[in-house]
Amino acid sequence: MCLILFAYKVHSQYPLIVAANRDEFFNRKTASVHYWEDEPEILAGRDLEKMGTWMGVTKNGRFAALTNYRDPSEDVSGKRSRGELVAKALIDKESIVDYVKTVQSEADKYPGFNLIVGDKDSLYYFSNKEGKIRKLVPGIYGLSNHLLNTPWPKVEVGMERLRQLIEKDAIKPIENLFTLLLNTETYSDDRLPKTGVPIEMERMLSPLFIKSANYGTRSSTVMLMSKNQVQYVEKIYQPERKKAKQFQFYYGK
């Protein structure tokens, strides 16, 4: 994922609301969201090159998602795929906080990443660029390719619009959340981050929804987690152009 907007324990019906865009090269082989054949408890898309994932949930209501940390100067040779962190978070049977501690102890094995792991009762954030485990308090959050709540324009706009939808009690129909994710607004150069890529690339990467010839927002995902139910919807835009895939299930029984 390259943009994850989420609200944690701020809505009376849904302790966890997630709206996320996955940005990737269009030629990278990917499977859309499904229950994995080798791990049938997991509902997630899958990167078919490294067999990891960027976001998913289990039938028991365990959630994980990840973004890359943008640093073109970083040496990634010999490092492991970041997508395995989400897969392992969903497969793992130890407590959420113990899993995040394990990730912390192995953080230097991966290129820069941001990881969110949790459920309706607790939610944790860890970045190997920051190094500390954060147990999140109730609030609205935004995560792109820097640290949590870094005030990039796309993050600030996304958080504010998610806040407005919640205040208006307008997260249903969930199409409202997808509309938020489709925002292609760009920003003036003086507001753009300086991450080490050329300014032309910073401009291209600045909207919530990214468009270019070979790289961009390939899919959007919305998840609503209530106290005992998960609604999970994925829309694919590039390159497959398929219809939305919807899943709904009860957990914790």
Enclosing H/E stretch for 223:
strand 215-225
Average pLDDT on 92-110 reads: 96
Enclosing H/E stretch for 99:
helix 96-105
* pLDDT higher than 90, residue 242: no
Report the number of secondary-structure helices (H) and strands (E) in the chain: 5, 13
> CATH number, domain at 101?
3.60.60.10
Q: Which domain holds residue 159?
A: 3-250
| Spatial distance between the Cα atoms of 102 and 95, rounded to a whole number of angstroms | 11
* pLDDT higher than 80, residue 170: yes
pTM of the model: 0.97
- pLDDT single digits (tens) 21-38: 999 999 999 999 999 999
Count of structural domains within the chain: 1
* pLDDT higher than 80, residue 253: no
* pLDDT higher than 90, residue 98: yes
